[in-house]
Amino acid sequence: MTTAHQPNQSSKSTSHWLDRRLVLFTGKGGVGKSTVAAATALLAAEQGKRVLLIDVDSTGNLAALFEHPEVGFIPTEIYPGISAMQMDTEDSLREYLNLQLRLPLAGRVGPLANAFDFIASAAPGVKEILTMGKICWEVRESLEKRAPWDIVIVDAAATGHVISQLDSPRAIRELVKVGPVANQTEWVIEMLADPLITELHIVTTPEEMPVSETIDLVKSLKTRVDVPLGNIIVNRVLPEPFNRADADIFSNLETTNSLAAIEKTAGLGGKKVLAAASLAVSLRRSQSKHIAYLRQSVDLPLVYLPYLFIRDHGLRVTRVVSEALGYEMGTGG
């Protein structure tokens, strides 16, 4: 069987990930992008960086991956060196109005929020710019030493929505040509396009639909938005059950004596053991096919994370994935 990957053989070094000030993760829903974002934050924190971890999904709960209660719009420390916040467009609008128009933060925005909702439904990018503007504001504040973050890590929108999110500054610039809003969107556009500051990574799994969506997303990102692309992170890669020599031995085990020996050793029916092994080989071969197709279809480096045979979703999983990322990036063992 062809091996799809050997560790640390990505097509370019990934050690620069944590040198960026803004690192974003996207991917099809269910592929584990939130876990990868949290694991990257943990890796950065354990290297001494002060991290702001942002969840753009108001229904998400990144804090749970650190076994911390849910957080809100105000950054809250959830782990030593890691603060997290949940994006909220109304809170973001309120903060923007306070900063730009000196309107008080107290209370709801009220009628202005209603007007905003009306405008947002008619004009593309209005709600999304509040998200991207807030993210980039935190990065700019950190660059100018007014915020403590060394790196801002974002669990961005899924594949179906991330382009409109990333493209929102340009969309607003098309609507508003002059004035303070135009000036503010300009620096957001510049920050998102700066490869020394920003990098977007795509998380996928070695399955047909996620791989297909990833390939389409890469093509769309390259033609529609100006954001530096980093790596394709292939999550949940199964281990190689057998090497070629083992596979030849395995194929000759279905004899009466061999089955009896397996049953005596494993305490299970020999045919069940062989069926399980055959299934493992089949699944791995299927994954290898999808990984090979992905590698041929995109010109971005692939990073591989193992399938975790555990059911936890808390800090234990975050730590295991972080260690695997560290190994891939050459920062851990």
* 79: Cβ contacts below 8 Å, ≥ 6 apart: 42, 45, 66, 68, 315
Q: Looking at residue 185, what is its pLDDT?
A: 85
State the DSSP code for 308.
P
313 C-beta neighbours (distance < 10 Å), count: 13
Q: Which residues pair with 199 in a beta bridge?
A: 23
Place of tokens 């929505």: 161
The two tokens of residue 135 are 């993210």
261 C-beta neighbours (distance < 10 Å), count: 13
- Residue 154 contacts residue 56 (beta carbons within 8 Å): yes
Average pLDDT, the chain: 81
100 C-beta neighbours (distance < 10 Å), count: 11
In the chain, what are the domain boundaries? Answer: 17-240+299-328
State the DSSP code for 62.
G
The two tokens of residue 57 are 């999904």
Condensed to tens digits (0 to 9), the pLDDT of residues 118-176 reads 445 545 567 788 889 999 999 999 999 999 999 999 999 999 899 999 998 888 887 77
Distance of CA 159 to the CA centre of its chain: 11
Distance CA 79, CA 74 (A): 15
CATH topology of domain 17-240+299-328: Rossmann fold (3.40.50)
Least confident of 108-112, 190-194, 252-256, 285-289: 108-112
pTM of the model: 0.82
Query: Looking at residues 52-60, what average pLDDT do you find?
Result: 87
pLDDT at residue 15 above 60? no
pLDDT at residue 197 above 70? yes
Output 253 or 174, whichever has higher pLDDT.
174
Query: Looking at residues 42-54, what average pLDDT do you find?
Result: 96
- Residue 41 contacts residue 85 (beta carbons within 8 Å): no
Q: Looking at residue 170, what is its pLDDT?
A: 87
